[in-house]
Amino acid sequence: MGHVEMGDGMSLVLVGLGSNQGESVAIVEAAIQRLQAYAAAGSMRRSSLYRTSPVDCPPDTGDFINAAVGFHPRAGLTPETLLADLKALEQEFGRPAVSPRNAPRPLDLDLLAFGDERRDTPRFQLPHPRAADRLFVLAPLTEIAPEFEWPGNACTVQTLLEALQTDEHVERLSPAVATERT
């Protein structure tokens, strides 16, 4: 399998989702539904929901609900237009336009990869610079795209997960029991 192809010549877009404010399960589920608008027909794959420990967050930050989606982009979609739309969607769900890094938030959407596209600008980096080092990203991605080769290092998502050494806590939630705990 090629490093960005899914067997039909189309690039794969990967987006990570997270929430740790408000009704996080409902927020992530609603955001997943909204992301379908960016996917070519019938191409959306979604992971389970995961309860994850905070990483590099302020003290007393609560657990997150995380997930990932993968899809072939609809015609005309670029990394730049998708990133702008992801930021607008975060704000629609209540995230301030400017907030401290890794602060608690109702919705966090990260453009993890857009096929083999690469970006290194003041606005953003692609692939996401820390995604391959985060269990809360790799665990959901392994469900939907285990053979995706991470741009720039030629390792699959599955290989990155197997090699990861971390003290993060990640608990896969069954959709039937994916309820909020306080």
Of 43, 41, 47, 33, whose CA–CA distance to 12 is shortest? 43
Give the list of residues 6+ apart from residue 136 with CB closer than 8 angstroms, or none.
Answer: 16, 18, 50, 52, 53, 55, 64, 66, 168, 170
Among this protein's residues, is 105 annotated catalytic? yes
Q: Say which of 110, 118, 167, 172 is annotated catalytic.
A: 110
Q: Say which of 95, 123, 133, 134 is annotated catalytic.
A: 95
Q: Say which of 34, 56, 74, 105 is annotated catalytic.
A: 105
Q: Say which of 108, 116, 119, 181 is annotated catalytic.
A: 108
Q: Please say whether the dihedral angle defined by the alpha carbons of residues 98, 102, 106 and 109, taken in this order, is positive or negative.
A: positive
Among this protein's residues, is 120 annotated catalytic? no
Active-site residues, by number, are: 95, 105, 108, 110
